A and B are shown apart, each in its own frame.
Chain A
Amino acid sequence: MRSARSLLSLTAFGVVAVLGLMACKSEPSGPANANATRPLAATPTPSSSPLSSTIPGDANFSDLPNNPTIQQIQHDFDVFSWQSFVALNWPLDQSQTIGSAPDGDNPTVWGTYVESYQVFLPQGQTPSWSSRTVPPICQPDGGAANLPVLRMTMKVSDQVLNFSQQAFGTGPLIDQRGEYARYSINLNQDAFNYILTNKLYNKEGQANFANVSFPIAASPSPSPTASPSVSTVGSIVLKSAWRILDATRGDVLSRYHKIDAYVYTPPSNNPPTQPSCERKTLGLVGLHIAHKTASAPQWVWSTFEQVDNVQVGQNAPAGLKPSFFNPDCKTCPINKPPPKPWNPNVKTTPSQVTRVIPIDDATKQLNSQWQGFLSGVNQNSVWQFYELVSTQWPTAPAPSPTPSPYDPHPTGAPAPQFLANTTIETYIQGKVPNTSSSCIMCHNNAATTAGKFSDFSYLLQSAQSSKPKEQKK
């Protein structure tokens, strides 16, 4: 009773707003927005297809009965996840639909979002949405500055914590060719603007700020004269996992969303690691989408994977093997990090990864449906080779989007209780409270560098001081 009432009581505050938002299709655009080249309205798609470029501001609960079951609400959040996945992976080129290019792939909207290491700069400098820094070692020829730089080999950024200091770094993920998976964190304009406006990009700014509360989708009824840069989708943070692809070694590139990127390994003393940087083709293997919404002040946590990660997915060519599991190895330790030292420059023992909590049947069914929509656009669409693992949401959402220590249910009794992506939380899958992966439970411990709750975002921990470092005596 409690949770259903809590959820449904948000109607006036959130759900109606969201429905209105969806009806208005007022996806933000404008010079300050990542989607500056995108029109306000969604790109037309076949009339029977739900594929849209509009990023939803919240799940749509209009189909729920008076006393919904947890499965019915889960379904609405899962649909929200797929809508978000499609919209965020929509092409920048407005003349296209997702996956409609001949090769079935496209540069994505979220690929233009700022990366976390571009926000939390050395000496706490003020970041800008469009500025980019590329390590000099990556550009001996001085070109290709716009390529992404993938530098993380674990979930926690090495911008602040090096390999040996990663508090939550349970270990790198190694693919079956011995290559390290790489990670990136991207923020949408709403999240970035909040950090920028409140000077949360350095330690001093955080120390002067009392109550971190990332924005949710704005009112669906903006004034006609409102700035086009007014946010309407709410804060979104994405964590992506990538693996280096090599067609000459058996990778089927047509099953991946691909980027051309610099794979950068920063120098390290422990273990001794030389800096390196190589330009590679990488394939997306995992994607977290964290989105703060009216119905979920504890954020909605969607996670997707490429279908060949731990077992071979649908329509696979003969002989294709999973990226992170060797079906021929009966003695490989399951879900164990590789032996140290962890040096990304050196190929090492592949991870033997399995999914501990299976994707439930209802989500599998929804996946088949949306994969069908995507392949309906183009039989070559790479996007049909991604699947939703699940969506975690608070069954007892906080009464306000502003976090408060007086919240009766700070974590909101998340459902499902546990959620892990095999490429991002590889080694902490399971069902042990407070130990196994649970997005909300883990991020409830997030704090600023000043030791204050940071609204479920660990990003702010990456901030550096704007003051000159004291010289060691």
Chain B
Amino acid sequence: MSTDPNFNNFVGLSSILTGYPQDQLAPQIDPIGLASEYLTWMEQNADQAAFLKTLGTFQNILQQVASQLPPFDPNNPTPQQAALMNQLVAAQILSDPAMGHIARRMIRLWYLSTWYTTEPPDPNGDGQVVSMNAYTMGLAWDAAQAHPMGYSELHFGYWAVAPPGNDVSPNAFPDVTVSAAPAPGQADKPTPRVGLQRGGI
């Protein structure tokens, strides 16, 4: 993690708010740096007092968890510790009017790549996509196992195979052809499936 406590608290809180692990939101080897971009954006566009109070409150939550359920590694919490963190974030941040707004904006930022100036947002009259990278890396695409229009990191031909399931086989590249008809002899074989996880973030 970074040596910047604000960055670590921002990523840690983002992980709880989004449900995505910290190392997916802010990989150690990160060629894009979306978490840093979002932090900078929040610092420049959010209510500063409320934002800093939110990060400080999250820091206190970590200390509470460490105190109640030691030993505690914020990057690798036990299930009980994770549950307690979620409970404390809900009680101390999401329930607070000012910090709750900040937290909800963070969720929208990560999932929709969009910054809304009003709370609640007016999707028809408000909203700004933070950047081109933010657009392509919005968690909404990943959660829906989809990708932005005009931007896919999947190998050529991915559209010809079924979306993923839990029974994906990692052993063979399916005979992917851009054709509606099954290849000869392939009609009775299981439909190949393709993982739609994105390569970024």
Contact = CB atoms under 8 A, between A and B. Distances in A.
Given A3-B29, A450-B177, A405 B24 contact: no
A347 interface: no
Contacts of A211: 172-173
Given A409-B198, A451-B177, 8 more contacts: A2-B23, A73-B29, A396-B29, A402-B173, A405-B155, A406-B168, A406-B170, A413-B200
A403 interface: yes
Given A4-B28, A433-B132, A444 B153 contact: yes
A454 interface: yes
Contacts of B69: none
A205 to B, nearest CB: 15
A279 interface: no
Nearest to B154: A410
B161 to A, nearest CB: 6
Given A2-B28, A395-B29, A415-B31, A453 B155 contact: yes
A408 B27 CA distance: 15
Nearest to A68: B29
Main secondary structure of the interface of A (DSSP, over half): loop
Contact of B158 (A396, A405, A409): A405
B27 A444 contact: no
Contacts, number: 127
Q: Give the interface size class of chain A.
A: 35 or more
B2 to A, nearest CB: 11
B174 interface: yes
Contacts of B44: none
15 contacts: A2-B28, A70-B31, A395-B29, A404-B170, A405-B194, A405-B195, A406-B168, A407-B155, A408-B195, A408-B197, A413-B27, A414-B31, A451-B156, A451-B157, A454-B156
Contacts of A445: 156
Nearest to A213: B173
A244 to B, nearest CB: 36
B23 A1 contact: yes
Which of the four size classes fits the interface of chain B? 35 or more
A406 B158 contact: no
Nearest to A408: B197
A78 to B, nearest CB: 14
Nearest to A414: B31
Contact of A1 (B27, B133, B192, B198): B27
A415 B30 CA distance: 8
A101 to B, nearest CB: 40
A233 interface: no
Given A395-B29, A406-B195, A417-B31, A411 B157 contact: no
